[in-house]
Structure 1
């Protein structure tokens, strides 16, 4: 007679571990409910989960919200959690990739302020870029810095550089026909 312990599969997961995993997925679902729906558009998830999040935003009664949160936790079990976590980290700015991207954009902005030739590089990299607007923002940011004024153009320049990078990444991800 064989020992039952030897016949157990190697991938056995205890009931306690499964509960912890489900609680972690429910916590992830709760984190999803804390973001505005517009910011969650880039988060990879099923349509059912997206609809449940829309419904959660609509609910006001605490009991209904608690039941909806349980339902979202149930839907999370069928979702791929890793891409959702990565997307949420990027949204909150906690991911290393997002931090590195922000540093890269800040360095590009400083290079642009130091040397106008960087505009030519940007024009080559992003053919659709509004170089005239970039030049104007550069000039205004330098003036703000010289006159010790609030950095409105400086921030707008960063936003424009980020938008340029976002559009170029979106263009790269689009499949070619």
Structure 2
């Protein structure tokens, strides 16, 4: 079957068709919708101009359907003037889509499991992150092992992962909040 438009008729210098422009506009609005769904903490980590940040924050506060739809269109309009790639890349990191992020998650999961298997791994953690609170990690390890043994929800297990992730990201785990949790 032949179609009226052939690849050899394709002109790379021709402006995009109206349909293509519309698809691009909807893709930018969808990207904007993903931004609106983010928490403020994550939104601050996304590289974007201040006016786009403010528009997204405004959309997060709007509850009326029509007003929200118009705000989403405005966000799409603002996004036409920026490169969406850095924003998409950060959203991929948040969603665990990037290979680097997946590898990082696996590395941290392995470190957590190694720590549960052998307390001597705390020495490796201390060597890698001198600011780590080893006593808190030791307590979390003990509590995670108890949770596993008693088939309780894995609170300490998850907390271990969170602290290891924060250490790797360069910030020490906040010890003033909840440092006493789970200590016996």
Taking structure 2 as the reference length, the TM-score comes to: 0.78
Q: What is the RMSD computed on CA atoms of the aligned residues?
A: 2.0
- Answer yes or no: is 1:146 the counterpart of 2:149: yes
Task: Return 5+ residue gaps in structure 2 as ranges.
Answer: 1-9, 172-184
Q: Which runs of 5+ in 1 are unaligned?
A: 1-7, 169-177
Higher mean alpha-carbon deviation, 83-92 vs 95-104, is at 95-104
Identify which of 56, 62, 69 aligns with 1:59: 62
Considering fraction of residues, name the structure with more helix. Answer: 1
Counterpart CA distance in 2 for 1:93 and 1:13 is: 35
User: Aligned pair 1:127/2:153, yes or no?
Assistant: no
1:13 to 2:15 alignment: yes
Deviation at 1:108, TM superposition (A): 0.4
Change (3 A) 1:65 1:143: closer
- Please, which of 23, 26, 29 is the counterpart of residue 26 of structure 2? 23
Counterpart-to-counterpart distance in 1, 2:40 and 2:151: 38
Provide closer, same or farther for how the CA distance between residues 147 and 55 of structure 1 changes in structure 2, counting only shifts above 3 A.
closer
Shift >4 Å, 4+ stretches: none
Give 1:63 deviation, angstroms: 2.0
CA deviations on 1:17-44 (whole Å, 9 max, x unpaired) are: 2222222112111221122223211111
How do residues 82-101 of structure 1 correspond to structure 2 at under 5 angstroms? Answer: 82-101=85-104
1:147 and 1:65 mapped to 2: Cα distance? 48
Deviations 1:98-156 (A, max 9, x none): 22222111100011112222111111111111011111111222233334333222121
- Which residue of structure 2 lines up, in the alignment, with residue 79 of structure 1? 82
**C-alpha displacement at 1:85, in angstroms?**
0.9
Deviation of 1:9 after TM superposition, in Å, equals 7.4
Q: Give the equivalent residue in structure 2 for 1:33.
A: 36
- Superposed displacement of residue 56, structure 1: 1.0
Q: How many residues align?
A: 161
